[in-house]
Copies of this chain bind each other. A is one copy, B any other.
Amino acid sequence: MINTLYLPELREMLADSSETDLREFCTALHPARTAEFMEGLSADETWRVLKYADLPLREEIFTFFSPETQLDILSTQDRGEVSELIVELAADDRVDLLEELGGDIVDEILPLLPSEVRREVLRLWAYPEDSAGAVMTTEAAKLSEVLTVKEALDELSKQSESLETIYYLYIVDDTDHLRGLVSARELISAIGKPQTTLGELMETDLVSADVLEDQEEVAQKVARYDLLAIPVVDHEHRMLGIITHDDVIDVVREEATEDAHRIAAVEPLEGSYLTTPIFTLTWKRGMWLTILFVAAFLTAFALRHYEDGLKTWVWLAWFLPLIISTGGNSGNQAATLVITSLALGDVSVRDWLRVVVREVAMGLLLGGFLGALGYAAAWGSGLAPGAAAAAVIPITLLLIVIAGTLLGAVLPLLFQRVGLDPALMSSPFVAGIIDILGIVIYMNVAFAILYR
């Protein structure tokens, strides 16, 4: 959403180069709102306005632009000037942006960065996508346990500008091994005893994330322990960085959206719906639609196989969509419940037997009820020729609903077990399998009853 309210005024200020007004505009509001008001400007105009803000504020406003605007500015404006801004960015945001920029522009910008920043970019770059290392930032407060409360407060006061969070102080030894944690809350509580050392205050039973751990698991930990930030360590428990609460909210939203898209058989988007090019979106949907289409084509062969039966009892065809939809819907429900429970950590693969028992029980209850309903409707409506023939419908419904709940629950668990994303076992995929199974069940039940 673009807020166009202030655009004419802003453009006028730029035309007049009225420094006081533009400085005032940059500083008066919350940086997020300043950014919102600028979203309608071109990259050139935006950059000209931003120059009226000091570098730290400029960086803050910049972080609130949409990814598209950010990339637009970085790729079109003066390389020297944008690299100053890039140095100012948090290490995790910096790496993400450079990765998006890609190619030639990065090759031009990297040499302009101070060597320690460049080295850090390359190091963070090396971590696999979606790992804790790829999301973490390196600007954490790392202090020695011999510092006193007073020294620690002074140190924090000095460093606070450059740190991503000052709310947790991590206590490390000379070689950065993580030893403990003091929260700013505990530090402030201890203001009355300024000579206490951090070593005395620190908690040593810490929750941490391995640098290669999946970001979804890390987000689960942060949510479970109600943390503001989680330290990221290597296999020797050396502290490499932290992941903060705001990044965790982003990860949670991103992963939930990815799962929802996978469940609907859409390859997860990288940007938002409206900004993804139509051809990209078509590809991300088309590849799965095509796979499902090929699978669904098998149903045509399955049905031809039963050609004679369908010619004799044409009424069987009336119920075909009802039966495969009902099987698909019950499988869809089970698959979504299991996939979201796995994502929330409520269910693990070890619970498979409990899940199976529950789903069979629910398949019996749901299939039994829908079967009774289907029998009454098939017979009552006169669509099925007689009470005996109508019995085909409830028996098929009971079987197909049990098959649906069972497959919908088991297939995601199986995918999780072999290390694949359970959401890949999407609802349409489950429904596709059930389509074919449904036809086979339906025709066999029908022939068993009707040929007697």
Q: Mark A residues whose CB is within 8 Å of B.
A: 1, 28-30, 32-33, 64, 153-154, 156-157, 160-161, 166-167, 184-185, 188-192, 203, 205-207, 219, 222-228, 245-246, 248-250, 252-253, 256-257, 259-261, 263-266, 269, 272-274, 278-279, 281-282, 285-286, 288-290, 292-293, 296-297, 299-301, 303-304, 307, 310-311, 314-315, 317-322, 324-326, 328-330, 332-333, 335-341, 344, 346-348, 351, 354-355, 358, 361-362, 365-366, 369-370, 373-374, 377-378, 381, 383, 427-428, 431-432, 435, 439
Contacts and interface: CB of A to CB of B under 8 A. Distances in A.
14 contacts: A30-B206, A166-B184, A222-B249, A252-B256, A266-B333, A266-B336, A272-B346, A273-B346, A274-B351, A286-B365, A296-B321, A301-B381, A320-B320, A328-B431
B358 A281 contact: yes
Nearest to A346: B272
Q: What is the total number of copies of this protein in its complex?
A: 2
A205 B33 contact: yes
B383 A157 contact: no
A227 B167 CA distance: 13
Contacts of A358: 274, 278, 281
Interface centre among A64, A203, A274, A354 (most CB of B within 10 A): A274
Contacts of A321: 296, 299-300, 303, 320-321, 324, 435, 439
B292 A341 contact: no
A85 B383 CA distance: 64
Given A245-B245, A293-B373, A348 B1 contact: yes
A264 B261 contact: no
Given A223-B249, A282-B362, A332-B428, 8 more contacts: A153-B191, A157-B189, A161-B189, A256-B260, A261-B340, A263-B263, A307-B314, A328-B328
Given A266-B333, A322-B300, A184 B157 contact: no
A344 to B, nearest CB: 7
A207 B336 contact: no
Contact of A299 (B28, B285, B322): B322
A225 B32 contact: yes
Given A296-B322, A314-B307, A326-B289, A344 B266 contact: no
Contacts of A279: 365
Given A191-B153, A297-B377, A30 B203 contact: yes
Contact of A184 (B1, B167, B439): B167
B257 A344 contact: yes
Nearest to A345: B1
B362 A278 contact: yes
Nearest to A283: B365
A293 B260 contact: no
A337 B266 contact: yes
Given A274-B354, A366-B286, A296 B326 contact: yes
- Return the 6 tightest CB-CB contacts between A and B, nearest first: A256-B256, A264-B336, A272-B346, A299-B321, A226-B246, A273-B341
Given A153-B191, A333-B265, A427-B264, A249 B246 contact: no
B263 A246 contact: no
Contact of A293 (B256, B335, B370, B428): B370
Contacts of A351: 274
A157 B339 CA distance: 45
Contact of A32 (B207, B278, B378): B207
A225 B30 contact: yes
A41 B31 CA distance: 50
Contacts of A252: 249, 252-253, 256
A289 B166 contact: no
A370 B166 contact: no
Contacts of A325: 292, 296, 299, 324, 328, 428, 431-432, 435
Given A167-B167, A184-B184, A318 B304 contact: yes
A290 B318 CA distance: 19
Contacts of A248: 249
Contacts of A245: 228, 245-246, 249
Contacts of A205: 28-30, 33
Contacts of A427: 264, 332, 427
